[in-house]
């Protein structure tokens, strides 16, 4: 099997400008998300039961009680 020579990747000015624009956009989005997260109240997870309930709610798990015969 023949190996081909590595191809050269050239970075253009347009590519750098696009990268910088995307980076700024992501930073702005993260900054706005941080402000939202700071304003929301956190639920205390001191007890294991509340911690487990929080995890179940986050992943969408709703346990159904089992019927014993």
> In the prediction, which pLDDT does 65 show?
76
Q: What is the pTM of this model?
A: 0.40
Q: Is the pLDDT of residue 34 over 80?
A: no
Q: For 31-55, what is the mean pLDDT?
A: 70
CA 11 to chain centroid? 29
Q: Which residue has the tokens 């624009």?
A: 21
C-alpha closest to that of 44 among 35, 54, 34, 36: 54
Q: Which residue has the tokens 């050269």?
A: 8
How many C-beta neighbours within 10 Å does residue 41 have? Answer: 5
């Amino acid at each position: 099997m023949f190996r081909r020579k590595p191809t050269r990747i050239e970075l253009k000015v347009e590519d750098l400008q696009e990268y910088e624009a995307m980076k700024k956009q992501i930073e702005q989005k993260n900054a706005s998300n941080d402000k939202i997260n700071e304003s929301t109240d956190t639920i205390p997870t001191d007890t294991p039961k509340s911690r487990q309930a929080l995890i179940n709610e986050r992943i969408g798990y709703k346990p159904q009680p089992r019927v014993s015969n």
